[in-house]
């Protein structure tokens, strides 16, 4: 028996587990301190009333013989029509036409950003921005893939563009970006679509934060770019859109037009899902189906505006301190420069110990993240204000 030795190449802990471990150790050593977490992007507002009502109704359905549901429908890899239709209508409002068979319901974008690799050879080279959401890197290390990086730096506005001299088979893009908050325009994304086409590569496009986009020039979906259906798979989530971090629901779009080596990737993914997955629960799917209704969208907009206001509180605080940052607009993340030339983990410790505020060290998202620090707008307004007051007191001189 041999273990998968690729796991030995990973850091001991996943980034957010390491932040959680350090926070818990600090709390245990200082029981009287009120620690504020603006680290992992976990939501704090309850689910929208329309979602709750739909879930209650679904629970009642499960209680009656006539409406009880077992496994979801086979034909759509267990996605119910009500949810699939609502997703198609949400795409149509963004100017994107999709068919029901192109949308696969999941338990969130994180799972599928790793699961999707099942349909690709381990010999492929993967292009990952640096810094980026650490799961993309870790899942490819686990699979033993060759990884190359696209540097996201202050100079390119944290939005790397394709380099023709780099050969890639699989390309991860996250926009609006986690962790930097930077977001691609449709024109910039077109360059990535063209590059992928030339390379015969596939883009894995993470759109988990698209509901934070307000600027019309920015993409909400890669399929708003001409030709993208032939090169891109889109990963979407209800976590940040509708506060589903604890409920778990997402969807992955694999267009019919996406064919490699004469094989439909949609068919491969359907084959993989029907073997390894038994679907997202009926109650969850019914709750999610209420999100993109008129009432649901109005309610989730209110929640997203609440987080946008938190982002403004944080950026105003940083403006007052003269600390540079990106994000906070079209994104729930604020990517700040560590003050006084501190490294990311030095600043993490300094802020935790002196202000009892927890953020996420930029270096945890990649080498280019060194010297940066990520704050999230997903906290409560009260905690966000308090964290900013403490940061101001600590850093004002």
> Which spans of this chain sit near ligand MLT (rule: CB under 6 A)?
40-42, 110, 133, 178, 239
Which CB atom, from 252 or from 266, has the smaller least distance to ligand MLT? 252
Which CB atom, from 91 or from 133, has the smaller least distance to ligand MLT? 133
Which CB atom, from 239 or from 299, has the smaller least distance to ligand MLT? 239
In angstroms and rounded to an integer, the radius of gyration of the C-alpha atoms of the chain is: 21
Structure tokens at 268: 């491969």
**How far, in Å, are 75, 110, 273, 325 from residue 78 at the CA level?**
7, 19, 9, 42
Which CB atom, from 44 or from 199, has the smaller least distance to ligand MLT? 44
Please say whether the beta carbons of 240 and 208 come within 8 A: yes
Burial environment of residue 207 by CB neighbours within 10 A (0 to 12, 13 to 18, 19 or more):
buried
- In whole angstroms, how close is the CB of 274 to ligand MLT at the nearest point? 25
What is the four-CA torsion angle of 368, 372, 377, 381, rounded to 10 degrees? 170
Direct distance between the N- and C-terminal alpha carbons of the chain, in angstroms, rounded to an integer: 59
Q: Rounded CA gap, 88 and 198, in Å?
A: 29
Nearest to 293 by CA among 104, 83, 58, 60: 83
Q: Name the residue with tokens 């890639």.
A: 168
- In whole angstroms, how close is the CB of 5 to ligand MLT at the nearest point? 26
- In whole angstroms, how close is the CB of 336 to ligand MLT at the nearest point? 15
- In whole angstroms, how close is the CB of 373 to ligand MLT at the nearest point? 13
Find the residue with minimal CB distance to ligand MLT: 41
User: CB-hemisphere CA count at 13 Å for 387?
Assistant: 28
Which residues make beta-bridge pairs with 252?
104, 235
- In whole angstroms, how close is the CB of 141 to ligand MLT at the nearest point? 17
Q: Rounded CA gap, 39 and 19, in Å?
A: 8
Q: Name the residue with tokens 């009880």.
A: 68
- In whole angstroms, how close is the CB of 174 to ligand MLT at the nearest point? 10
Judged by DSSP in three states, 42 sits in coil
Which CB atom, from 84 or from 105, has the smaller least distance to ligand MLT? 105
Which CB atom, from 106 or from 239, has the smaller least distance to ligand MLT? 239
Which CB atom, from 90 or from 376, has the smaller least distance to ligand MLT? 376
Which CB atom, from 80 or from 372, has the smaller least distance to ligand MLT? 372
- In whole angstroms, how close is the CB of 37 to ligand MLT at the nearest point? 11
- In whole angstroms, how close is the CB of 41 to ligand MLT at the nearest point? 3
**At a CB cut-off of 8 Å and minimum separation 6, what does 229 contact?**
223, 255, 256, 257, 258
């Amino acid at each position: 028996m041999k273990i998968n030795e690729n796991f030995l190449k990973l850091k001991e802990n996943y980034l957010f587990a390491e932040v959680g471990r350090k926070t818990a150790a600090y709390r245990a050593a200082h029981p009287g301190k009120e620690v504020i977490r603006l680290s992992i992007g976990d939501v704090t507002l309850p689910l929208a009333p329309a979602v709750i009502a739909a879930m209650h109704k679904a629970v009642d359905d499960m209680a009656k013989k006539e409406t009880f549901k077992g496994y979801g429908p086979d034909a759509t890899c267990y996605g119910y029509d009500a949810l699939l239709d609502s997703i198609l209508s949400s795409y149509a409002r963004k100017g994107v036409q999709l068919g029901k068979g192109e949308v696969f319901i999941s338990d969130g974008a994180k799972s599928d950003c790793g699961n999707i690799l099942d349909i690709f050879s381990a010999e492929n080279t993967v292009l990952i921005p640096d810094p980026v959401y650490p799961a993309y890197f870790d899942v490819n290390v686990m699979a033993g893939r060759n990884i190359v990086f696209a540097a996201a730096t202050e100079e390119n506005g944290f939005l790397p563009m394709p380099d023709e001299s780099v050969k890639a088979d699989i390309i991860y893009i996250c926009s609006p970006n986690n962790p930097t908050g930077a977001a691609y325009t449709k024109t910039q994304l077109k360059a990535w679509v063209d590059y992928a086409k030339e390379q015969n590569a596939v883009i894995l496009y993470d759109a988990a934060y698209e509901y934070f986009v307000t600027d019309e020039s920015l993409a909400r979906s890669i399929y708003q770019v001409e030709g993208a259906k032939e090169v891109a798979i889109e990963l979407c989530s209800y976590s940040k859109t509708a506060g589903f971090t604890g409920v778990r629901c997402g969807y992955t779009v694999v267009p019919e037009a996406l064919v490699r080596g004469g094989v439909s990737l949609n068919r491969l993914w359907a084959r993989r899902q029907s073997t390894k997955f038994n679907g997202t629960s009926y109650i969850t799917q019914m709750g999610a189906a209420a999100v993109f209704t008129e009432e649901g969208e109005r309610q989730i907009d209110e929640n997203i505006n609440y987080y946008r206001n938190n982002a403004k509180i944080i950026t105003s605080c940083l403006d007052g301190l003269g600390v540079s940052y990106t994000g906070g607009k079209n994104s729930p993340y604020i990517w700040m420069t560590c003050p006084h030339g501190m490294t990311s983990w030095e600043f993490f410790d300094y802020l935790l110990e002196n202000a009892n505020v927890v953020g996420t060290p930029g270096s945890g998202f990649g080498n280019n993240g060194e010297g940066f620090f990520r704050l999230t707008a997903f906290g409560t307004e009260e905690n966000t204000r308090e964290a900013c007051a403490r940061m101001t007191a600590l850093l004002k001189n």
